[in-house]
Structure formats: C-alpha cells, structure tokens
Amino acid sequence: MEHSLRSMRLKMMGICFVGVHIPLTVLCFYAVLNGLAGLETVLVTTLISTIVGTLGALYGVNAVFNRLSAAL
C-alpha cells in the first residue's frame, strides 16, 4: 500500500509541475519566435509567478497525501 501511495504522489506532483509550467513554456516559445522586444518584464513576472504557483501546488498536493497516508 505504501508503494502505491508513493507512486501516486509522484505522479500527481509531476502533473502539477508540468501543468503549471505550460503557460511559461508557451510564452518563451512566443518570445523566441517573435523577438524579445518589450517582453523582458513579462517573462520575469511570469517566471516568478510560475515558480510561486508550482511551489503552492506541490505543497498542497503533498499536504493532501500526507493526510491520506496518515488516515490509512
């Protein structure tokens, strides 16, 4: 049971990580294809907010799995 819960935790954290980084990845591709003129501030703001969002999502998922693990 512990192995299954650990595997599910890693999968959920991976999904959160990828999901949160999709907007940043798309913005970076857009900047590369269309030039960086005027996008520096947007890129930095997006990067910082993406990192904060990722940390929040991973913390939340981890908290849920810790409670679930303790209940089992």
> What is the pLDDT tens value at each position of the chain, 72 positions in all?
567 777 877 888 888 888 877 887 888 888 888 887 777 888 788 888 888 888 888 888 888 888 877 877
Please give the Cα distance from 67 to 42 (Å, whole number): 37
The answer to whether the pTM exceeds 0.85 is no
What Å distances lie between residue 40 and 28, 30, 47, 50, CA to CA?
10, 12, 11, 15
User: Residue 38: left (phi > 0), alpha (psi -120 to 50), or beta?
Assistant: left
Q: Would you say 13 and 55 are in contact if contact means Cβ atoms under 8 Å apart? A: no
